[in-house]
Chain A
Amino acid sequence: MASILDDDPRIIEFDVRTDEMLVNMGPQHPSTHGVLRLVLRTDGEIVSEVEPHIGYLHRCAEKIGENLTARQWIPYTDRMDYLAAMNMNLGWSLAVEKLMKYEVSEKARHLRVLIAELGRIASHLVGMGAYGLDLGTFSPFLYAFRERERILDLFEEACGARLTYSYITVGGLTADLPPGWLQRCEAFLDQFEPVIKEYHALLTTNAIFVKRTANIGVMSREMAIDYGCSGPVLRGSGVDQDLRRDGEAIYTAMYDGYAFEVAVMKNGRYPRDHEYPPVPPDAVIGDCWHRFFVRMIEVVQSMDLVRQAIDRYSACKGTIGEPLKLTEKIPAGDAYLETECPKGQMGFYVVGDGTAIPWRARARSSSFSNLSVTADLCRGCLIADVPAIVGSLDIVMGEIDR
């Protein structure tokens, strides 16, 4: 609309409104934990919208699973959550065993607990260290890797691999532990326990860390459940759920007789079976700090579980038994089983048609559901909060893209 004002040379228009900018964070970016691509719509430092794009690591593992026998697919589960490959192996093995109604020997059961909990510690160590990286502190990452290295050494001794183990398999485990392994494992635990205090000093209770994480990315209980979040992300929002206690019988039977507490804030407080640092006053249930803290508690809980498993395993006589044949036939029918993996509830769904090759193999990824909250959580935060929030979800792209 033209008006006389437009021609008035005395009137100068100022436009102080700033433009929005679209920024690609990833797929090559230091803090997106792999090949995650986040498209940020930013207004200065404020992020108005985040759209995650995934699939850069997609290998269609499920299609591969339809062309291999159940045991042959184990190495592909390794490559889903490659930071907790033991737990992935366990999830698929249990799902197939559920369909086959197979039960492993008592000794193998305790060995599985032992290995899975060590895997959880290793995974949480990476999660913790990488979270430090996301917030700009480098040293805790290397401290975490120092300890993880020792777990990997133990794994290597047990199964020969350091990252993709294929150790736990359908019908048991591929091998028994070598002699002296348990002593070395105990030595590791004894050495590791006091170190956790350092992590708390460097991260959990660090004033800047608290400032960066407390009250950031607050996810309500309802939202966490609605999005199907699981694991530390769900428990960080105050939902008291851990499949090791609440899961299906075939899974909880594995932990039968083990004592541990679910790392969740109940009635305003966390479990007190060990010494944990106090919750800072700024932290709100469901924020990044709580998600992180839940992982730190779980590390301690897992250490307890490993100790118990060592005792029970050594008390067992006999052998762990042989795993099933590679070409073992799977009965017709379907079975779905979720296990409590370090990143969350990892579900495997197997549909058999009577042959050795599953008709359908499906992996329900916990990180996939956990990541889907990003768009909602990051709306209106600052750019620096995006890595803080995504990091607190502790995702691994291999599992999301499968």
Chain B
Amino acid sequence: MQVTRGPGFLDQLDAALPGAVTGRNLEALDPWIEVAPGRIAEVCHWLKRSSPVRFDSLECITAVDWHEPDPKKAAKVSWQPRIELVYHLWSTPARVSLVLKCGLPRWKDDQPGSLPELPSVTGVWRGADWHEREVYDLSGVWFTGHPDLRRILCPEDWEGHPLRKDYVQPVEYHGIRNR
């Protein structure tokens, strides 16, 4: 009971927010639609408030770092280096799920260290608060409009974002050797 989007559903989304949906894969195991990063909040808002199937619950936000740190292997990979945000939504009344994907550059303006940005969905689901903090903490994505975006699992003064593929563990943390 997970496939939700008949063609009608996507057409409605397209009609309501033209240009927001940039891609789709309805044959995948969990069929997904790709959303333009800047418009994710709008899309989510529509999905929760106006869509025929109300996606009233955000289950999970995952950031997948498509990056191959090994230069030899990196030459052979088939993907574009990017950060992919995956939103798993769930509709309680209809009991169906939906997957949104959002591709972001690994670094904002290709400046290593400056985090990529996209709008926060905390205004849509209150539960997104902690999930976005976790993604920020572990994967290094900045959510604009988040009320209180700070680290949640790592200590506040931790350096780096551990789930980045090119993350290097600090040698020392407050005098404690890590490696």
The stretch of A124-132, A281-289, A329-337 in contact with B is: A329-337
B17 lies within 8 A of chain A by Cβ: no
Query: Which residues of B are found within 8 Å of A336, using beta-carbon distances?
Result: 30, 60, 86, 88, 97, 99
Q: State whether A333 touches B28 (Cβ < 8 A).
A: yes
Q: State whether B30 touches A335 (Cβ < 8 A).
A: yes
Query: Which residues of A are found within 8 Å of B65, using beta-carbon distances?
Result: 360
A345 lies within 8 A of chain B by Cβ: yes
A41-55 contacts to B (CB < 8 Å): 54-55
B154 lies within 8 A of chain A by Cβ: yes
In the assembly, what is the distance between CA of A359 and CA of B69, in Å? Answer: 13
B4 lies within 8 A of chain A by Cβ: no
A97 CB, nearest partner CB in chain B, Å: 11
What are 8 contact pairs spanning A and B, CB under 8 A?
A60-B162, A63-B162, A228-B131, A248-B2, A349-B88, A368-B134, A369-B131, A402-B153
Known: A62-B138, A227-B127, A401-B153. 8 other contacts (CB 8 A): A58-B154, A60-B153, A99-B29, A228-B127, A252-B1, A336-B99, A349-B62, A349-B86
Number of interface residues of B (CB under 8 A): 36
Q: State whether B126 touches A349 (Cβ < 8 A).
A: no
Q: Which of A58, A63, A226, A376 contacts B125 (CB 8 A)?
A: A226
Given A58-B154, A225-B56, A228-B57, check contact A334 B162 (CB 8 Å).
no
Interface residues of B (CB under 8 A from A): 1-2, 28-30, 56-60, 62, 64-65, 86, 88, 92, 95, 97, 99, 125-127, 129-131, 134, 138, 151-155, 162-163, 165, 167
In the assembly, what is the distance between CA of A359 and CA of B82, in Å? Answer: 14
B27 CB, nearest partner CB in chain A, Å: 11
Q: Which of A55, A226, A227, A347 contacts B154 (CB 8 A)?
A: A55
Q: State whether B60 touches A364 (Cβ < 8 A).
A: yes
In the assembly, what is the distance between CA of A60 and CA of B129, in Å? Answer: 20
Q: State whether B127 touches A241 (Cβ < 8 A).
A: no
Q: State whether A241 touches B95 (Cβ < 8 A).
A: yes
A246 lies within 8 A of chain B by Cβ: yes
In the assembly, what is the distance between CA of A99 and CA of B129, in Å? Answer: 29
In the assembly, what is the distance between CA of A248 and CA of B60, in Å? Answer: 16
Given A55-B154, A349-B62, check contact A241 B92 (CB 8 Å).
yes
Query: Which residues of A are found within 8 Å of B126, using beta-carbon distances?
Result: 223, 226-227, 376
In the assembly, what is the distance between CA of A338 and CA of B2, in Å? Answer: 11
Query: Which residues of A are found within 8 Å of B95, using beta-carbon distances?
Result: 241, 246
In the assembly, what is the distance between CA of A341 and CA of B73, in Å? Answer: 39
Question: In chain A, what residue has the closest Cβ to B151?
Answer: A55
Q: Which of B28, B57, B64, B97 contacts A226 (CB 8 A)?
A: B57
Q: Which of A347, A372, A401 contacts B60 (CB 8 A)?
A: A347
In the assembly, what is the distance between CA of A289 and CA of B49, in Å? Answer: 31
B173 CB, nearest partner CB in chain A, Å: 13
Q: Which of A249, A334, A359, A402 has the most CB of B within 10 A?
A: A334
A362 lies within 8 A of chain B by Cβ: yes
Q: State whether A335 touches B29 (Cβ < 8 A).
A: yes
Query: Which residues of B are found within 8 Å of A247, using beta-carbon distances?
Result: 1
A351 lies within 8 A of chain B by Cβ: yes
Query: Which residues of B are found within 8 Å of A369, using beta-carbon distances?
Result: 127, 130-131
Query: Which residues of A are found within 8 Å of B131, using beta-carbon distances?
Result: 228, 368-369
Query: Which residues of A are found within 8 Å of B165, using beta-carbon distances?
Result: 66
Given A58-B154, A98-B29, A249-B1, check contact A362 B125 (CB 8 Å).
no
In the assembly, what is the distance between CA of A66 and CA of B163, in Å? Answer: 9
Query: Which residues of B are found within 8 Å of A225, using beta-carbon distances?
Result: 56-57, 92
Q: Which of A98, A229, A359, A401 has the most CB of B within 10 A?
A: A359
Q: State whether A226 touches B127 (Cβ < 8 A).
A: yes
Question: In chain B, what residue has the closest Cβ to A239?
Answer: B92
Q: State whether A360 touches B162 (Cβ < 8 A).
A: no
Query: Which residues of B are found within 8 Å of A63, using beta-carbon distances?
Result: 162-163, 167
B113 CB, nearest partner CB in chain A, Å: 20
Given A334-B30, A349-B88, check contact A228 B58 (CB 8 Å).
yes
Query: Which residues of A are found within 8 Å of B151, using beta-carbon distances?
Result: 55
Annotate A356-379 by CB proximity to B: 1 below 8 A, 0 otherwise. Answer: 000110101000110010001000
Question: In chain B, what residue has the closest Cβ to A370?
Answer: B127
Query: Which residues of A are found within 8 Å of B134, using beta-carbon distances?
Result: 368
Q: State whether B1 touches A226 (Cβ < 8 A).
A: no
